[in-house]
């Protein structure tokens, strides 16, 4: 089988000139295969004629009628009305856009065949802008033999044009030039119909076909295509993993003295889950292939300590470790943590962010390049070309969903000889539903820290309307009098009447007036990094310096990683505007100590159905994995993973949620198919093109 099958461009089709080509490209259609994979979103039944007397509002029907009256009505809008009947009843055809010749065509006594949706009108049933054609009474006009497909469209393109092009593409399909890539024995094993048969069926199904099954994307012919597309994505990630591991990595000896010292110095004991995941990582680091491991752990489960143990294993083996965070606030926090933990062990910890400039930056870059600093914490600044490491052996990427696949993979080029890839440990506190782990992270081994440290009390979540604001302010005052600290989260920075949200700046001013006895700070994304870090330091305090702020008004900039154990109350305004994962992340900023903690979701009525659903889930569960699954159900995979992650991972036919049950079979088959490089390349090329999209770096 050739992996480079030549598929004709759409320009070979009759009626496709330069203008039509541009329109088709907007739908992602460049060749005949793309056109055949452009599946209908629904179907119309034009295979039988209906009597007007049997029609009900909402029906889509084909009727054969005679014109009894055609007239133009003048009002706010000029309208063409055509009264038709068939002996069992009558209805009106209404046109808002029409020509003089069209009026003349619809002359009294003319026989028509019309198709449209039946609607109520001022004088009985109507069809608005129905499709119709005049009939020649001498010639018998047959009805359609198959259901009529309705395709996704773009501006300037009509259904009839696409149907006409599809008919030509189906004739090309009959020539057998579009190969069946899945071998027969595999299709039989997984009960998958042939590609050719599936495509013909989906573009021209018989009247007896199960339309509901097709509407839900669950017909075997649709599932056959979804299966192959999921397989292509999976193969790409496996190929990516293979390519990285073929480079070879650095074999680290198992952790010894430094790790033992580190654990003895800690003020707490690792949970069973932390110990298990640390052992999995240590075993990976001892292999000659680069580790590619994703560690998931709910907010507060202790991923940072696990990352620290991995970094120590690198340092003990005379390699450097880089820890990358998505924001400067989180990078600062990691830097403080690692510095406090590692300096007693005589390990130098450095930090690199965008705000570090001039001579200080030059010196730091020199220290990293000559190996004087063993552990480097930073933001995406670590990706920059000027950053060189002496011998980078481990890259830890925190909050993976904030970085694209391309970004994390570019760190492999930072290995000393450019040929061996550093070990990669990817961490996220946003639990990822199993469906998405199996598809979006198929190139990674997965570990889950599924246990919270002892002494953590679950956060109590209360849903409250914003007309109870005064009671909420009383609650804040009481908490601060009890020497607790409070977050007040707003979802916008500036006032916006359209979204009806209290802005952070306005809220901070109001709270200062209502609670003059409290010290109130404000933090948002438009502040300079140094300002944000300074405000967080005032809110957090240190062992020597107590916190200077009682209440912090913030935007969602505090969503990830901010750790203030004394903060035990959080108010989130307009929570209905945020996704479940984001709400859960925000709520995770409280409940980090042993004090009973509360999260108040202060919504603006009226709530939509999905808004009510989301807030109910937050009230009912503190389990990030349960919440992630619900988030996937409500918002879909693209939203949950974030566009940075899925920018190139768009599916033509498959749907990760709907087709989740196929993923285990896809995984199993991918392992087999990946052994056959020609077949593997042909499948990925068909669905992802020559660049292998997100798998190609």
Highest mean pLDDT of the ranges 191-205, 491-505, 598-612: 191-205
User: Could you read off the pLDDT of 160-177 as tens digits, one per residue?
Assistant: 999 999 999 999 999 888
pLDDT of residue 3: 43
Percent over 70 (pLDDT), the chain: 91
How much is the average pLDDT of 519-523?
92
Distance of CA 653 to the CA centre of its chain: 16
Higher confidence at residue 233 or residue 501? 233
User: Do 257-449 and 460-621 share a fold?
Assistant: yes
The radius of gyration of the chain from alpha carbons, rounded to an integer in Å, stands at 31
How much is the average pLDDT of 186-201?
93
Q: Is the pLDDT of residue 519 over 50?
A: yes
User: Could you read off the pLDDT of 606-633 as tens digits, one per residue?
Assistant: 888 888 888 999 999 988 888 888 877 7
Could you tell me the pLDDT band of residue 692, with boundaries at 50, 70 and 90?
A: very low
Answer yes or no: are the C-beta atoms of 353 and 370 closer than 8 Å. no
Predicted TM-score (pTM) of this structure = 0.72
Least confident range from 281-290, 407-416, 457-466, 563-572: namely: 407-416
Answer yes or no: are the C-beta atoms of 73 and 81 closer than 8 Å. yes
Could you tell me the pLDDT band of residue 297, with boundaries at 50, 70 and 90?
A: confident
Q: Which CATH number fits domain 460-621: 3.40.50.300, 3.40.1380.20, 3.40.630.10, 1.25.40.10?
A: 3.40.50.300
pLDDT of residue 647: 38
Q: Is the pLDDT of residue 417 over 60?
A: no
| Number of Cα atoms under 13 Å in the Cβ half of residue 524 | 17
User: Could you read off the pLDDT of 30-62 as tens digits, one per residue?
Assistant: 999 999 999 999 999 999 999 999 999 999 999
pLDDT of residue 643: 39
Instruction: For 568-596, give the DSSP string.
Output: EEEEEESGGGS-HHHHHHHHTTS--SSS-
CB neighbourhood size of 456 (10 A):
15
Answer yes or no: are the C-beta atoms of 324 and 396 closer than 8 Å. yes
Within 8 A by CB and 6+ apart from 213, the residues are 219
Kindly report whether the peptide bond that precedes residue 557 is cis, defined as omega within 30 degrees of 0. no
Q: Which CATH number fits domain 257-449: 3.30.110.40, 3.40.50.300, 3.30.1360.70, 1.10.3210.10?
A: 3.40.50.300
Least confident range from 155-164, 258-267, 530-539: namely: 530-539
Mean pLDDT of the chain: 87
How much is the average pLDDT of 362-373?
93
Q: Is the pLDDT of residue 403 over 70?
A: no
Percent over 90 (pLDDT), the chain: 54
Least confident range from 83-92, 228-237, 688-697: namely: 688-697
pLDDT of residue 396: 93
Helix (H) or strand (E) holding 131: strand 131-134
Cα pseudo-dihedral 591, 592, 593, 598, rounded to 10: -10
User: Could you read off the pLDDT of 120-129 as tens digits, one per residue?
Assistant: 999 899 999 9
Measured between alpha carbons, how far is 691 from 470 in angstroms, rounded to an integer?
57
Higher confidence at residue 147 or residue 624? 147
pLDDT of residue 238: 87
Higher confidence at residue 175 or residue 639? 175
Could you tell me the pLDDT band of residue 5, with boundaries at 50, 70 and 90?
A: low
Answer yes or no: are the C-beta atoms of 10 and 24 closer than 8 Å. yes
Q: Is the pLDDT of residue 246 over 90?
A: no
How much is the average pLDDT of 465-485?
93
pLDDT of residue 256: 76
How much is the average pLDDT of 76-97?
94
Measured between alpha carbons, how far is 547 from 568 in angstroms, rounded to an integer?
14
Higher confidence at residue 529 or residue 561? 529
pLDDT of residue 416: 55
CB crowding 64-85: b at 16 or more within 10 Å, else e = bbebeebeeeeeeeebbbbbbe
Measured between alpha carbons, how far is 48 from 64 in angstroms, rounded to an integer?
10
pLDDT of residue 560: 60
CATH hierarchy code of domain 54-143: 2.40.50.140
Measured between alpha carbons, how far is 328 from 315 in angstroms, rounded to an integer?
24
pLDDT of residue 502: 52
User: Could you read off the pLDDT of 303-360 as tens digits, one per residue?
Assistant: 999 999 999 999 999 999 999 988 887 888 899 899 999 999 999 999 998 777 888 8
Least confident range from 217-221, 328-332, 474-478, 491-495: namely: 491-495
Q: Is the pLDDT of residue 696 over 50?
A: no
CB neighbourhood size of 55 (10 A):
18
Q: Is the pLDDT of residue 392 over 60?
A: yes
pLDDT of residue 1: 44
Q: Is the pLDDT of residue 418 over 70?
A: no
pLDDT of residue 639: 56
| Strand boundaries in 597-663, DSSP class E | 598-603
CB-neighbour burial class of residue 199 (10 A; exposed 0-12, middle 13-18, buried 19+): buried
pLDDT of residue 658: 86
Could you tell me the pLDDT band of residue 401, with boundaries at 50, 70 and 90?
A: low
Angle among Cα 296, 302, 305 to the nearest 5 degrees reads: 105
- What does the domain layout of the chain look like in residue ranges? 10-43+151-216, 54-143, 257-449, 460-621
pLDDT of residue 694: 39
pLDDT of residue 578: 84
């Amino acid at each position: 089988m050739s992996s480079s099958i030549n598929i004709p461009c759409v320009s070979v089709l009759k009626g496709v000139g330069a203008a039509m080509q541009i329109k088709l490209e907007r739908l992602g259609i460049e060749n005949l295969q793309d056109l055949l994979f452009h599946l209908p979103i629904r179907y119309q039944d034009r295979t039988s004629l209906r009597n007007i007397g049997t029609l009900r509002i909402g029906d889509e029907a084909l009727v054969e009628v005679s014109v009894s009256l055609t007239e133009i009505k003048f009002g706010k809008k000029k309208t063409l009305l055509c009264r038709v009947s068939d002996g069992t009843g009558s209805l009106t055809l209404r046109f808002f856009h029409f020509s003089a010749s069209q009026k003349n065509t619809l002359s009294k006594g003319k026989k028509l065949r019309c198709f449209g949706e039946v609607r109520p009108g001022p004088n009985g049933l109507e069809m608005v802008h129905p499709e119709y054609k005049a009939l020649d009474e001498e010639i018998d006009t047959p009805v359609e033999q198959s259901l009529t497909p309705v395709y996704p469209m773009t501006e300037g393109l009509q259904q009839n044009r696409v149907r006409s092009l599809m008919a030509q593409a189906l004739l090309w399909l009959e020539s057998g030039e579009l190969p069946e890539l899945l071998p027969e024995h595999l299709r039989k094993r997984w009960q998958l119909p042939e590609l050719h048969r599936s495509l013909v069926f989906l573009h021209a199904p018989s009247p007896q076909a199960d339309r509901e099954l097709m509407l839900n994307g669950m017909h075997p012919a649709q599932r056959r295509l979804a299966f192959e597309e999921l397989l292509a994505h999976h193969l790409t990630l496996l190929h990516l993993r293979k390519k990285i591991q073929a480079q070879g990595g650095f074999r680290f000896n198992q952790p010894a003295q430094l790790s033992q010292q580190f654990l003895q110095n800690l003020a707490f004991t690792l949970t069973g889950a932390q110990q298990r995941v640390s052992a999995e990582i240590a075993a990976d680091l001892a292999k000659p292939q680069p580790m590619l491991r994703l560690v998931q752990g709910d907010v507060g489960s202790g991923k940072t300590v696990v990352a620290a143990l991995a970094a120590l294993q690198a340092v003990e083996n005379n390699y450097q470790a880089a820890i990358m965070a998505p924001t400067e606030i989180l990078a600062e926090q990691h830097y403080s943590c690692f510095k406090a933990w590692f300096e007693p062990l005589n390990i130098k910890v450095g930090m690199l962010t965008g705000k570090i400039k001039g001579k200080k930056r030059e010196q730091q870059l020199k220290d990293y390049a000559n190996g004087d600093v063993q552990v480097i914490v930073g933001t995406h600044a670590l990706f920059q070309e000027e950053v060189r490491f002496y011998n980078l052996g481990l890259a830890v990427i925190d909050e993976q969903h904030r970085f694209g696949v391309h970004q994390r993979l570019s760190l492999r080029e930072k290995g000393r000889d450019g040929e061996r890839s550093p070990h990669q440990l990817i961490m996220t506190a946003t639990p990822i539903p199993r469906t998405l782990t199996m598809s979006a992270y198929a190139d990674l081994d997965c570990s889950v820290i599924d246990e919270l440290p002892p002494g953590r009390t679950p956060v109590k979540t209360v849903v409250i309307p914003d007309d109870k604001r005064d009671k909420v302010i009383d609650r804040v005052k009481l908490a601060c009098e009890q020497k607790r600290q409070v977050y007040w989260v707003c979802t916008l920075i500036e006032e916006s009447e359209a979204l009806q949200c209290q802005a952070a700046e306005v809220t901070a001013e109001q709270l200062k007036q209502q609670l003059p006895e409290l010290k109130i700070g404000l933090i948002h994304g438009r502040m300079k990094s140094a300002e944000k870090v300074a405000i967080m330091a005032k809110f957090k305090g240190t062992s020597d310096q107590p916190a200077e702020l009682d209440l912090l008004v913030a935007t969602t900039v505090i969503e990830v990683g901010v750790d203030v154990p004394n903060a035990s109350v959080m108010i989130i305004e307009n929570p209905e505007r945020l996704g479940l994962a984001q709400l859960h992340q925000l709520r995770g900023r409280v409940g980090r100590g042993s004090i009973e903690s509360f999260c108040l979701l202060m919504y603006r009525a009226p709530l939509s159905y999905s808004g009510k659903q989301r807030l109910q889930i937050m009230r009912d569960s503190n389990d990030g994995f349960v919440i992630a699954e619900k988030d996937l159900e409500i918002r879909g995979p693209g939203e949950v993973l974030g566009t940075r992650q899925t920018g190139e991972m768009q599916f033509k036919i498959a749907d990760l949620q709907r087709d989740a049950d196929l993923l285990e079979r896809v995984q199993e088959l991918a392992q087999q198919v990946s052994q056959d490089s020609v077949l593997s390349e042909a499948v990925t090329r068909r669905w992802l093109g020559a660049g292998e999209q997100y798998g190609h770096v």
